[in-house]
Chains A and B, each alone.
Chain A
């Protein structure tokens, strides 16, 4: 073992499965209030894993993951309640919610495949802006097509409970324990999918792309096709998470999918480390928790003797996340967690190098 801190494959797999089992078990243990925050952490972790792959391997910063998340949520929601707004009062208007949850990531992936072809020709900041624009366009569509989407008022109520083979998963607002457990089960599945991908031929090709696109192409890697596939994968994961979100609150409104959400996903990945799959989960949990705490802080009537305005929660979040992002980019370009790992390794006694 010459590579420091690298666990043998089986041990790592066992550890991951054990952690996943614990995460699922925890879903049953938490009270309703904590549980909805915990579910949200899981949903965001699924999005962050996909974005971490995209940012780490394709070198693309996407500020549009929130858009794919919203697209997944609205796809699942609208399919469940029925496409035709006039028929929505009929019980048979929509399709089975379970089918809608499957359809959402597929449609999101399809949209990503279509827009990815021109978008991925852009590099660096341009792609970030283009994906941000995508998010703004989607929000405008949700507002404009309010007859179809419910808009901001009254929003879209997805009352139909999510049921798989007669096994009810949601029903009570805020998400039942089963829903939470399933979300974290899917986090585990996503994690294993991503780990398998990274350790395969395709993963090595992605690693080559991340190092040098030119060298990757010279080794026979179809760089643009690989980037597109990764973009589609990350969008589908966001779409899946969005679809599950639709059944968590059973209510959709564009307020839940602001542009800030997309930025938050990027912060999660930056904290967890580009291309780091475990890091993405930790980043998602940490940032979701921090955002929750900041909102609690901001909604208090006063802080240190000062009256807090209504905008305080947003101001706190934007400010704190901006600082985190800048600090990470300036001082820990590989991410906070990998930097911590490196620090730990340096503290250990030096090993024989040969």
Chain B
């Protein structure tokens, strides 16, 4: 458990513009360790820009991003992953592997066998491989996909593919989990299943930041909701508080009837 005083993720006056468009403007918030926070906002609010900045695919013009105590603003994406950041992308292309092997990719962050060990296969490589397999199976069980472990990943339907990408990220053993619209395009039963998965992960003490459109889903899983509009933070509170907020209603007026 991290110190209660050190947030798991800190966004510190981050700005990023594209030409004259300020996609994210002087944005600050922090996530204390544990808990599920939802980030919502109408289209063009700067959600994707922020996700890319946190992931390490986009460098902010100004400001800092911290993972725990480490300033990762200038770090490459893979280094952030090694430091405990996990990302579930909205779109996942399945590799030409089976479901278990695809999940095993997630274990890359905390294992070390390289090219040479892969070719020569010393005994410790076998032991590591066994640990990877066990961890991947555990992650698949967590999302309820263990029965499809030996199916080719590219034959999975969308809902299962989303579960697979969550399983892979869990195999990564992240401290902070960033999820980009994880329930978009899923059926009600699949959403319910994900809700349970997120609930379990929160119980396990994982810090989660979820980018989401589906307000009903947000209301049922989130501890806290952060609302962005035109690159700025306009509301931050419990789902109930945010739903009553005048500025949020104004920002969403005419765009999403779900509120």
A is bound by B: yes
Who on chain A is nearest to B87 by CB? A218
Does B55 touch A at the CB level, under 8 Å? yes
Q: Is the CB of A3 within 8 A of B151?
A: yes
Does B70 touch A at the CB level, under 8 Å? no
B105 partner, pick from A193, A197, A219, A223, beta carbons under 8 A: A219
Q: Is the CB of A3 within 8 A of B118?
A: no
Q: Is the CB of A201 within 8 A of B111?
A: yes
Q: Is the CB of B81 within 8 A of A217?
A: yes
Q: Is the CB of B97 within 8 A of A217?
A: no
Does B77 touch A at the CB level, under 8 Å? yes
For B, the interface residue count at a CB cutoff of 8 angstroms equals 44
Does B128 touch A at the CB level, under 8 Å? yes
Q: Which of B95-142 contact A (CB under 8 A)?
A: 95-98, 101, 104-109, 111, 113-115, 117-121, 125, 128-129, 132
Q: Is the CB of A220 within 8 A of B151?
A: no
Who on chain A is nearest to B106 by CB? A219
A3 partner, pick from B57, B132, B152, B172, beta carbons under 8 A: B152
A196-B98 contact given A3-B152, A220-B172, CB 8 Å threshold: no
Does B196 touch A at the CB level, under 8 Å? no
Contacts of A2 in B (CB 8 A): 150-151
Say how far A190's CB is from chain B's closest CB, in angstroms: 10
Q: CA separation between A229 and B109, bound complex, in Å?
A: 18
Of A35-43, A172-180, A208-216, the one contacting chain B is A208-216
Who on chain B is nearest to A208 by CB? B105
Contacts of A222 in B (CB 8 A): 76, 78
Say how far B144's CB is from chain A's closest CB, in angstroms: 15
Q: CA separation between A208 and B107, bound complex, in Å?
A: 12
Q: Is the CB of B108 within 8 A of A220?
A: yes
Q: CA separation between A1 and B113, bound complex, in Å?
A: 28
Say what secondary structure dominates the interface of chain A.
helix
Does A171 touch B at the CB level, under 8 Å? no
Q: Is the CB of A211 within 8 A of B108?
A: no
Interface centre among B78, B111, B113 (most CB of A within 10 A): B78
Q: Is the CB of A207 within 8 A of B105?
A: yes
In this complex, the interface size class of chain A, counting residues with CB under 8 Å from chain B, is: 20 to 34
A212-B93 contact given A200-B113, A201-B129, CB 8 Å threshold: yes
Q: Which of B55-101 contact A (CB under 8 A)?
A: 55-57, 76-78, 81-82, 86-87, 89, 92-98, 101
Does A202 touch B at the CB level, under 8 Å? yes
Contacts of B129 in A (CB 8 A): 200-201
A215-B118 contact given A2-B151, A220-B81, A220-B109, CB 8 Å threshold: no
A211-B87 contact given A217-B81, A219-B168, CB 8 Å threshold: no
Q: Is the CB of A211 within 8 A of B78?
A: no
Q: Is the CB of A219 within 8 A of B118?
A: no
Q: Is the CB of B94 within 8 A of A211?
A: yes
Q: Is the CB of B76 within 8 A of A217?
A: yes
Q: Is the CB of A220 within 8 A of B78?
A: yes
Interface centre among A1, A201, A221, A222 (most CB of B within 10 A): A201
Contacts of B105 in A (CB 8 A): 204-205, 207-208, 216, 219, 221
Contacts of A280 in B (CB 8 A): none
Chain B interface (Cβ < 8 Å from any Cβ of A): 55-57, 76-78, 81-82, 86-87, 89, 92-98, 101, 104-109, 111, 113-115, 117-121, 125, 128-129, 132, 150-152, 168-169, 172
Q: List 11 A-B contacts (CB under 8 A).
A: A202-B117, A204-B105, A207-B101, A207-B105, A217-B76, A218-B55, A218-B77, A219-B81, A220-B78, A220-B172, A229-B115
Chain A interface (Cβ < 8 Å from any Cβ of B): 1-3, 193, 196-197, 199-205, 207-208, 210-212, 214-223, 229, 233, 275
Q: A197-B118, A221-B108 are in contact. List 12 more A-B contacts (CB 8 A).
A: A3-B152, A193-B119, A197-B115, A200-B113, A200-B117, A201-B108, A202-B118, A207-B96, A214-B77, A215-B92, A219-B172, A233-B115
